[in-house]
Amino acid sequence: MGQAAAADAAVVISQAIAAGGEANVILATGNSQLTFLRALREMPGIDWSQVRVFHMDEYVGLDPQHPASFPLFLQRHFLDYVDVAAFYPVAAPAKGTEAACSEYEALLRQYPADLCACGIGENGHLAFNDPPYADFDDPVWVKVVRLDDRSRHQQVGEGHFSSLDEVPTHAVTLTIPALLAAGRVLCIVPEARKADAVLASLRGPITEDCPASLLRTQPHARLYLDPDSSRLVDW
């Protein structure tokens, strides 16, 4: 699954470079993305020196060297292996957060994404657009959000924090319109713990109660599943 998604991502990136001399990509973080990121960094033939890398979210006020920091995650699992043109980490300072959001949105609009590689959370979120706070028609591309308790529990379950009290209550996230503005969207979702969210995304109503359900309406989006994450879907 991760290998298949990485192969498709490599095609999108290489085509963007061939057409315009550069490529802009948005990457997700988290344990479910590790197989994809490892496969992508090992893909032959990609001129990473022509690729700008963005990502999706960061906890407000978290120490950049905290093990749960998303830019640090990308650095350790991807950027240490490829020499990209530029990496733009999401800034989420405890003070001046709104200004940081505006600055990151300006970068995203300056360098339109050719590719967004995302996942689906256990609660059906895309990035940190959690139900019930997600907005399919969000007027901004980057904003501060309150994190749903299920989303925070997921971070503990993945081992990024030792207890719920340690998980920040707010984060900066790219909104759903920002993610879907990319030329191609590849959604990589492994593991049995995502099976309920996958079922809701594919068979439930299209609603902000399951933000990932909107992917069904996007012809430029592709979903990658494994036997565990797809086990509840009646094909």
Please report whether residue 231 resides in a domain.
Answer: no
Q: Would the pLDDT of 149 be above 90?
A: no
pLDDT in tens, 182-234: 999 999 999 999 999 999 999 999 999 999 999 999 999 999 999 999 999 99
Domain membership flag for residue 104: yes
Distance CA 49, CA 180 (A): 25
Q: Whole-model pTM above 0.85?
A: yes
pLDDT at 135 over 90: yes
State the pLDDT at residue 235: 83
The predicted-structure confidence for 26-63, as pLDDT tens digits, reads as follows: 999 988 999 999 999 999 999 999 999 999 999 999 99
In this structure, what token pair is assigned to residue 8?
């498709």
Q: Are 108 and 141 in contact (CB under 8 A)?
A: yes
In a domain, 233, yes or no: no
CA proximity to 117, closest of 192, 231, 8: 8
Q: What is the CATH number of the domain that holds 210?
A: 3.40.50.1360
Domain count, the chain: 1
48, part of any domain: yes
- Residue 201 forms part of a structural domain: yes
